[in-house]
Amino acid sequence: MGTGVNLWQPWPLRDLVVDLRQGRTTQEAAAARSRDRIAATEPELAAWVARHDTPTVPVPGPLGGVPLGVKDIIDVAGYPTKCGSALRADIAAADRDAAIVSAWRATGAVPVGKTVTTEFAFFAPGPTHNPADTAHTPGGSSSGSAAAVASGQVPLALGSQTAASVTRPAAYCGVASLVMSRGRYPVDGVVGLSPSLDSHGVFAARVSDLAVAWSALTGADDAGVRAVRPPRLLLWTAEPLGVVSDEMGAALEATATALRAAGATVDAFPREDLIAEITTAHPVIMAFEAAVERAGELAQADSLSAPLANLLRTGARTAPSLYTAARRTVAAALAEVTEVMSGYDAVLGPAAPGAAPVGLASTGDPVLSRAWQALGLPAVAVPGLRDPAGLPLGLQVIGPPGGELDALMAGCWIEKRLGRSLIRL
C-alpha cells in the first residue's frame, strides 16, 4: 500500500451527465476515465471481483455511457455471480442480466464489472479497503460498490440491503446511497438472503447525483426531486438502542440545530421505543428466512464463514411461532410509523453508530438500519459530515412507504445545508 494516490475522490454523476449532454466529454472518454482510475486505485482498494474492458459502443439514454458497478450477488450476463463465497468459485457465467440490471441498462448505464460483496451479503468481509482511510472497514455487505464510488472508479454502483448493507458502507465511505422501497423493482437474478427484507440499492457521490439517477430510472422530474422547499422532519436519535457514539450524537444534534435555523421543521420522533422493538424483530425474521432461502448452503455450513453458518443454523432452530410473532410486530408497527410520519416528509437519523471501525475483520454494526429495513421504507444516506479525526459520518433520511422522492427531496435539501458549512464539529 501507499501509492500516494488520493483514494477518496468521488466522481459526481450529475457533472458527468451534463458534460455528456453538452458535448464536453464523450462516452469513450468516460469509459477511459473509469479504466484509468481503477488502474490507479484498485491495488490499494480491492473493490472489484471482475471487470471486462470491452470496446465502447455509443449507448442511448439519459445515462448513456455512464460506467456502472454491480454488486456480485446480482447477475450480469457474461459474469459469474460468486457471492463472495468459495462454494460458488466455479459457477458458470450468468446468461442474462438480473431484472434490476436490465432496468439500469435501459437508462444507458453500462456495467463495467462486478464489485466485492461479503459472503452471500452477510458479515464475512472481503478484501475491500475504505477510500476515506484504508485502515478502516468500508462496511458491508456492498463493500466494493461503496468503495468504487467513493474512489471515483465509477460514478454509480448497485448494491442490495437486507439489514444495513447499503446505508452503512455509504456512511463509512462518505458517499450517498438510496435504498429503494422493498418491492419497487423485481429481485429476479439476485442471490437473496431474506425475501421479506431484501431491497435494491444504489450508490453515488452526492444525493443530488442520486436524484439524477432516480430520474433516469423512473422518469421522475429531476427538478422536482431537487426542490428547495425546507422539509418537515422527524428527528430519530436512536437513544434507546444505546449504540450511537458521542461524535455521531453531536453531529446529529448540530445538524438538527442548523437545519432548523435554515427553515426546516425538525420535531422529535415520538416513538423511539417502537423503533427499538422493530430492531429486535428484524434479526429473527432475517435468520429464519435465510435458513430457507439459503438451504443449499446450510447443508454445507462447515464450508461457510462462522458468521453465516451461525445465522443459518440459528434460523433453522427458530420456532415458526417466533418468526410469525416478529412479522406481526413489524406489520403492526408499520401502520403506526406511517401514522406518525403523516404530515412530515421524512425521518432524519444517524446512518451508523459512528465512523468506520478500524480494521477489515468486521464490517461494523448494522443496528441503525434494521428497523427501517424491516418496515420496507426507502432510505437515503446523506454524506458531508466528518468526525474530529476526519472520518466520514453519515446521516440517513427515511421516507414514508413508497416515498423515494420524499426521501430524495429532503436529502438534497439537507445536503445543500451541509455543503454550505453550517455544521461545525
Q: Which three cell numbers stand for residue 346?
A: 421524512
Percentages helix, strand, coil for the chain, rounded to the nearest 5?
A: 40, 15, 40
Same domain, 220 and 252: no
DSSP code at position 94: P
The answer to whether residues 381 and 368 touch, using CB atoms and an 8 Å cutoff, is no
- Distance CA(195)–CA(177), nearest Å, equals 21
- Rounded-to-integer distance, Cα 356 and Cα 364, Å: 7
Same domain flag for 69 and 99:
yes
Indicate whether 7 belongs to any domain: no
Q: Using H for helix, E for strand and C for coil, what is the string for 278-335?
A: HHHHHHHHHHHHHHHHCHHHHCCHHHCCHHHHHHHHHHHHCCHHHHHHHHHHHHHHHH
- Both 218 and 253 in one domain: the answer is no
- Does 84 fall in a domain? yes
Residue 298 within a domain:
yes
- Of 192, 225, 258, the domain-final residue: 225
**Is 187 in the same domain as 324?**
no
pTM over the 0.95 mark: yes
Domain final residue pick, 173, 199, 225 = 225
**Domain presence at residue 41:** yes
Q: Which structural domain, as residue segments, surrounds residue 313?
A: 232-419
Q: How many CB atoms lie within 10 A of CB 388?
A: 9
Co-location of 221 and 236 in the same domain: no
Strand partners, 398: 347, 379
Considering the domain architecture, whether residues 139 and 216 belong to the same structural domain is answered as yes
Clarify whether residues 91 and 108 are in a common domain. yes
- Point out the domain boundary residue: 196, 225, 254: 225
Angle 246-261/404-419 helices, nearest 10 degrees?
90
Q: For residue 345, is it within any domain?
A: yes
pLDDT at 5: 80
In the prediction, which pLDDT does 227 show? 66
User: Same domain, yes or no, for 203 and 275?
Assistant: no
| CB burial of residue 103 (10 Å; 0-12, 13-18, 19+) | middle
Q: Which grid cell is 196?
A: 421479506
Neighbours of 322 (CB within 10 A): 15
Same domain membership, residue 267 and residue 347? yes
How far, in Å, CA of 69 to CA of 382, rounded? 20
Q: Which residue has the cell 461503496?
A: 146
Residues 414, 360 within the same domain: yes
Other C-beta atoms lying within 10 Å of the C-beta of residue 78: 14
Exposure string for 28-57, b = 16+ CB within 10 A, e = fewer: eebbebbeebbebbbebbbbbbebeeeeee
Position 140 scores a pLDDT of 97
Mean pLDDT by 10 residues, the chain (425 residues): 80 97 97 97 98 82 97 98 97 98 98 98 97 98 98 98 98 98 97 98 97 96 75 98 97 96 97 98 98 97 96 98 98 98 98 98 98 98 96 98 96 89 51
The predicted pLDDT at position 1 comes to: 46
Contact 78, 34 (CB under 8 A): no
Q: How many structural domains comprise the chain?
A: 2
189 and 257 in a common domain: no
Same domain membership, residue 24 and residue 131 = yes
Q: Is residue 4, in this structure, part of any structural domain at all?
A: no
Q: Cell triple for residue 422? A: 453550517
Domain harbouring 140, CATH code: 3.90.1300.10
**Residue 399: inside a domain:** yes
Q: Answer yes or no: is 194 within a domain.
A: yes
